[in-house]
Amino acid sequence: MNQRIIAASLLALSLPLAAQAAGEAKNVIFFLGDGMGPATVTAARIYKYGEAGALNMEQLARTARIKTFSNDAQTTDSAPSMSAYMTGVKMNNEVISMSSDTKAIAPTLPAGTGNCGSNNGSAVTTMLELAKARGKAVGSITTTRITHATPAATYAHVCHRDAESDIAAQAVPGGAGFNAALKDGVDVLMGGGSKFFTPTTAGGVRVDGRNLIDEMKAKGYSYASTGTELKAVDAKSVSKLFALFHKDHMDYELDRVKKNLDQPSLAEMTVKAIEVLSKNGNGYFLMVEGGRIDHALHGTNAKRVMEDTIAFDEAIKAALAKVDLGNTLVVFTADHDHTLAINGYSKRGNPILDISRNYKDGKEAKDADGNTFTTLVFGNGPNRKDTRTSIVSGNTDSSMALHDDYLQETAVRLASETHGGGDVMLGASGAGARSFKGSMDNTKVFTLLKSAFGF
């Protein structure tokens, strides 16, 4: 176990409740594994460390169980769930950091220009805005488009998550549509999605002709578009960092590594963000999203789910090695669950992505029709691609199941796998972590983050 975690855990457990004063955290790092439900965490642990092992995130001192339902749905999407963490307000599906009465109205243009209409809710203050108002540095980084629902919930306010051109404009200090609550802007902003920052004439999708990348540079931001460029950024001399590593979402971790793509890992992004933000003597708030976990789950591609979850876990490890838990709170959780399930009675040590083999005799497990099946399955989704497996049911062997592109079987056939409505995990270590315990609503997490900061 990381020695910093051990020390912080022992300290937290030894202090009386009265000593756990509000405002003990100078810095807060909030890790969000998009769609990373309990089954995903368990499968990733087995995938990387075996049944008896432990992910870095599982070694944090405090744990809690989080309810994720939204204002209008049993099963939330990322927009209201992340917004609940960042604002403490329940809102409707597809709404980002707005009041509970806001109705989701989809953008009228494919470029993501929204129109909420009149008398349709109001903006609610985010944790990032609260931190900025108190002189702290703030950052938001992700492996998805930086305008995607989760990162957008930290710095933008829109009535529909698809209004990504509007979301991008809210990040540009002083520009048309800028979110003035950000004052001089988000200090570190990294991810994918350059198409929403550039005009159609430059290969983007903006219909207003603005090049927001150039506008950000003009406001003093150092800019990086590749992993190589990010490594070259001298954090000591940079106060504002903006980076977009892909026109759309960044690549899955499996592909980034196998194809040797010039994109940074989430861990590298996290370390660079901490280095830039920590120069602020008042402290900082940083949100880190492992966003493509969710995308691989929607596609029922468990191998990419595992690789992106491990990459997310490595980012947590990198942060823990970088910060002082005596004055920094580190929290991880997920915005919602998925329908991934670990099924059958596989023997211990059987590869989690493989076909199930019985624990009694090690032989291939068979379903009621005499066919093999994989340990990981989904409650719904597109099943298997015909290009890889010519049959929807039938025998699957290890060479198929362990292939990078294998799609797990699903019970209900849908075009895309959906989110799940189950509770998710939360872990916390460091300053103010003691309050994170038990079963709680996602809006309560916001209250605890504020208390840790002393807001």
- pLDDT tens-digit series, residues 412-445: 999 999 999 999 999 999 999 999 999 999 999 9
Is pTM beyond 0.95 here? no
pLDDT of residue 15: 43
Catalytic residue among 9, 14, 70, 78: 78
Query: Which residues, 6 or more positions from 221, have their beta carbon under 8 angstroms from its beta carbon?
Result: 185, 240, 241, 242
pLDDT of residue 108: 78
Dihedrals φ, ψ of 183, to 5°? Answer: 55, -105
pLDDT above 60: residue 128: yes
Supply 106's token pair.
């989809």
Catalytic (active site) residue 278: no
- pLDDT tens-digit series, residues 352-368: 999 999 999 999 999 88
